[in-house]
């Protein structure tokens, strides 16, 4: 069985600046790998390059045994739903013009899995799964709190039935009181669905509680890699 994610010698450049310099790591299903480091160290660039939302300038990204860097945009499109991002800004990742219900339903429609009869129930189920009352579906993003909005963003990501979630500082913009709730939700989802998490974070306290393994990044390179606790159910 191939690894969920296998990154080798990843390079991302912005003009003359090398933001990510030959970074390698791998990730199993059900495992949480934290990318930790100060701002500007290349964490978010790594995340975007793994998701192929910004094509890397070098290296390989293997996902479920397929090499992504050589695929065209069109070939990549059917694979994209299996790896979903959750962004830092809870409001920015949802279109301000659409209701929450439509935002969560959109992946189903885009991926051709929408069914007029069962669709609405599926959306309600997803909202319920992330701890949002389905009645929130009628609201627009600006009518929700930051934490609720981030939960909606997670529901939207789950609608694509992903295997890997790339969490780019998912709780940094949230109030400390809301943070624990969202982190617990993510932990529950992982146990239940066996998702792999690539967790981008600059906060050591959060990392210590949440991650199985931690990679420290500095100036675009991996400076150290350590095991926080024994990996969960993931087979080695």
Residue 92 in the binding site for another protein (CB under 8 A): yes
Q: Is 105 in the site for another protein (CB under 8 A)?
A: no
177 binds another protein (CB under 8 A): no
Single out the residue of 32, 36, 46, 93 in contact with another protein (rule: CB under 8 A): 93
Q: How many residues bind another protein (CB under 8 A)?
A: 32
CB nearer another protein, residue 145 or residue 225: 145
- Residue 98 vs 129, nearer CB to another protein: 98
Nearer to another protein, 89 or 125 (CB): 89
Which residue in the set 19, 68, 105, 173 belongs to the binding site for another protein (CB under 8 A)?
173
Q: Are strands 5-14 and 58-63 parallel, antiparallel or unpaired?
A: antiparallel
* Residue 163 lies near another protein (rule: CB under 8 A): no
| Residue of the chain from 22, 26, 99, 110 that contacts another protein (CB under 8 A) | 110
**Cα–Cα distance between 223 and 217 in angstroms, integer?**
5
- One residue of 8, 13, 111, 181 binding another protein per CB under 8 A: 111
- Is residue 78 part of the contact set for another protein (CB under 8 A)? yes
Footprint of another protein (CB under 8 A): 48, 51, 53, 77-81, 83-85, 87, 89, 92-97, 106-107, 110-111, 156, 160, 172-173, 175-176, 202-203, 205
């Amino acid at each position: 069985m191939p690894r969920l994610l296998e990154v080798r010698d990843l390079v991302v450049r912005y003009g003359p600046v090398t933001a990510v310099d030959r970074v390698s790591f791998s990730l199993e299903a059900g495992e949480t790998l934290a990318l930790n480091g100060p701002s500007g160290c290349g964490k978010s660039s790594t995340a975007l390059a793994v998701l192929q939302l910004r094509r890397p300038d070098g290296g390989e990204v293997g996902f479920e045994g397929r090499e992504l860097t050589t695929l065209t945009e069109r070939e990549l499109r059917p694979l994209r739903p299996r790896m979903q991002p959750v962004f830092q800004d809870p409001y920015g990742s949802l279109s301000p013009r659409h209701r929450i219900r439509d935002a969560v339903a959109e992946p189903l429609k885009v991926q051709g899995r929408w069914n007029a009869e069962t669709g609405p129930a599926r959306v309600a189920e997803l909202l319920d799964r992330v701890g949002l009352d389905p009645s929130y579906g009628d609201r627009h993003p600006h009518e929700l709190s930051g934490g609720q909005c981030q939960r909606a963003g997670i529901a939207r990501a789950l609608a694509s039935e992903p295997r890997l979630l790339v969490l780019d500082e998912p709780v940094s913009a949230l109030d400390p009181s809301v943070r624990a709730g969202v982190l617990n939700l993510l932990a529950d989802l992982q146990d239940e669905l066996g998702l792999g998490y690539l967790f981008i974070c600059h906060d050591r306290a959060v990392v210590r509680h949440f991650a199985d393994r931690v990679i420290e990044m500095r100036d675009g390179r991996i400076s150290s890699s350590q095991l926080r606790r024994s990996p969960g159910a993931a087979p080695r």
